[in-house]
């Protein structure tokens, strides 16, 4: 078994990443960028990238500075020079890789959703708890938590500035599947992805809502819809978007294009959620609004440096939503970047994820969001799917 804490002796934390496509690029950029802007207790080393296509993985390695290439993820677990396994693969592989890595003494960062099923997520959470007792850490990649405006909203709710939380409205709207000739992708195959809009993007807004409010979704009523039931097969399945020429060969879509559900939270709040990849004109509209007895906050990732805040304690004659530009040094994460007002982008959440993970490993504490947090989201996703199938209210079994 490898010693996952050995990096502390050298001041390095060596990373082996599995997967190299869309998420692989985002994670590569983060591992490479974090030590340039943040004073980290351990310096990440891009030790190895792994992918079944050696040529494609090699090209990514050259572009981002990975030192070596493996074609079997199991090889990473036998290397004593690797301390962290970063999993950027489709959901059907998460459980096997993560559990094996934790048992091998490697810290694990796993992309969301944690797994494709509750049973897989339960096994992963159990493995993470066992590993934590040996000092081996794990984290699930809900990076939108680390958008400074979202982190600030979390602080505002936790400090009581919104009072008792009553309403939660969450949306994640994209449009890359609006065209019926957008090509088939692994994201549209239930065996590989677990679900469609529900798990791919709905998982993010569920986690964000639960984290910002500090409460768990306790029951749901859901519906799911697939608007385009077959899509053209165009060579290698695309990972995101694009329009393929109409093809005579089409494959069945086995996941949802859109999901909507109502929810009850364990603190008494009620919620309305929507996730779709067919909202024409919406590119990455991850939205969250929270209404409390003393005020409200509203966030939209398409304007990601801004948080809207309403303070109901102000006199009615001057009350209104206030636009907070979340770019001050006192805001979460911002001090290490640019002067006020210069703004951050999508990739910065991944960098902040690296910062928090490396810091937790160095300090010997469990990072968040944990695999237990990922399981909590997975239970909500499963309850929505079950409710959509039978039309009844389903409890999630989740607790804060």
How do residues 316-375 score in pLDDT, each as one tens digit? 999 999 999 999 999 999 999 999 999 999 999 999 999 999 999 999 999 999 999 999
Angle at 310 between CA 307 and CA 315, to 5 degrees: 150
* pLDDT(239) > 50: no
* 62-77: burial string, b at 16+ Cβ within 10 Å, e else: eebebebbbeebeebb
Task: Give per-residue pLDDT as tens, 271-322.
Answer: 999 999 999 999 999 999 999 999 999 999 999 999 999 999 999 999 999 9
* pLDDT(120) > 50: yes
- Give the closest residue to 147 by CA, choosing from 337, 390, 370, 15: 337
Residue pair 274/170 in contact by the 8 Å Cβ criterion: yes
Per-residue tokens: 326: 């979340």
pLDDT-derived band at 8 (thresholds 50, 70, 90) equals low
pLDDT-derived band at 4 (thresholds 50, 70, 90) equals low
- Phi, psi (deg, nearest 5) at residue 41: -75, -20
pLDDT-derived band at 240 (thresholds 50, 70, 90) equals very low
pTM: 0.94
Average pLDDT score, the chain = 95
Task: Give per-residue pLDDT as tens, 162-189.
Answer: 999 999 999 999 999 999 999 999 999 9
Region of residue 391 (left: phi > 0; alpha: psi -120 to 50; beta: else): left
- For the chain, which domains are there? 7-141 (3.40.50.720), 145-344+377-394 (3.30.360.10)
User: What does the alpha-carbon distance between residue 314 and residue 232 come to, in Å, rounded to a whole number?
Assistant: 56
Task: Give per-residue pLDDT as tens, 41-97.
Answer: 999 999 999 999 999 999 999 999 999 999 999 999 999 999 999 999 999 999 999
User: What does the alpha-carbon distance between residue 114 and residue 111 come to, in Å, rounded to a whole number?
Assistant: 6
* pLDDT(1) > 80: no
Counting every residue written for the chain, the total comes to 400
């Amino acid at each position: 078994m490898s010693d996952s804490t050995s990096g502390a002796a050298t001041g390095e934390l060596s990373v082996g990443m599995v997967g190299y496509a869309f998420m692989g690029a985002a994670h590569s950029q983060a591992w490479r960028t974090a030590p340039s802007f943040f004073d980290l207790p351990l310096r990440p080393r891009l030790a190895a990238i792994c992918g079944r296509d050696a040529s494609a993985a090699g090209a990514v390695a050259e572009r981002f500075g990975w030192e070596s290439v493996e074609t079997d993820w199991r090889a990473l677990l036998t290397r004593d020079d690797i301390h962290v396994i970063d999993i950027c693969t489709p959901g059907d592989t998460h459980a096997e890789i993560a559990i094996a890595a934790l048992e091998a003494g490697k810290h694990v960062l796993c992309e969301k959703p944690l797994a494709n099923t509750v049973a897989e997520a339960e096994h992963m959470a159990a493995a993470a708890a066992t590993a934590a007792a040996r000092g081996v850490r794990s984290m699930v990649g809900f990076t939108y938590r680390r958008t400074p405006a979202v982190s600030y909203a979390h602080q505002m709710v936790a400090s009581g500035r919104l009072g008792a939380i009553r309403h939660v409205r969450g949306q994640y709207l994209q449009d890359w599947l609006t065209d019926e000739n957008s090509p088939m992708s692994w994201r549209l195959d239930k065996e590989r992805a677990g679900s469609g809009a529900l798990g791919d993007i709905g998982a993010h807004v569920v986690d964000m809502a639960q984290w910002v409010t500090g409460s768990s979704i306790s029951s749901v009523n859901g519906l799911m819809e697939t608007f385009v039931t077959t899509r053209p097969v165009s060579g290698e399945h695309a990972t995101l978007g694009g329009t393929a020429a109409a093809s005579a060969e089409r494959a069945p879509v086995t996941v949802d294009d859109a999901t909507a559900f109502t929810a009850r939270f364990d603190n008494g709040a009620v919620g309305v959620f929507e996730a779709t990849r067919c909202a024409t004109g919406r590119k990455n509209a991850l939205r969250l609004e929270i209404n409390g007895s003393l005020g409200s906050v509203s966030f939209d990732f398409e304007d990601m440096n801004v948080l809207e805040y309403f303070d109901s304690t102000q006199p009615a004659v001057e009350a209104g939503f206030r636009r907070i530009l979340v770019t001050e040094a006192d805001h979460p994460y911002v001090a290490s970047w640019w002067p006020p007002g210069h703004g951050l982008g999508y990739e910065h959440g991944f960098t902040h994820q690296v910062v928090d993970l490396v810091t937790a490993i160095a300090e010997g504490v469990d990072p968040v969001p944990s695999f237990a947090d990922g399981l909590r989201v997975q239970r909500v996703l499963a309850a929505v799917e079950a409710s959509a199938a039978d039309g009844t209210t389903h409890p999630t079994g989740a607790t804060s």
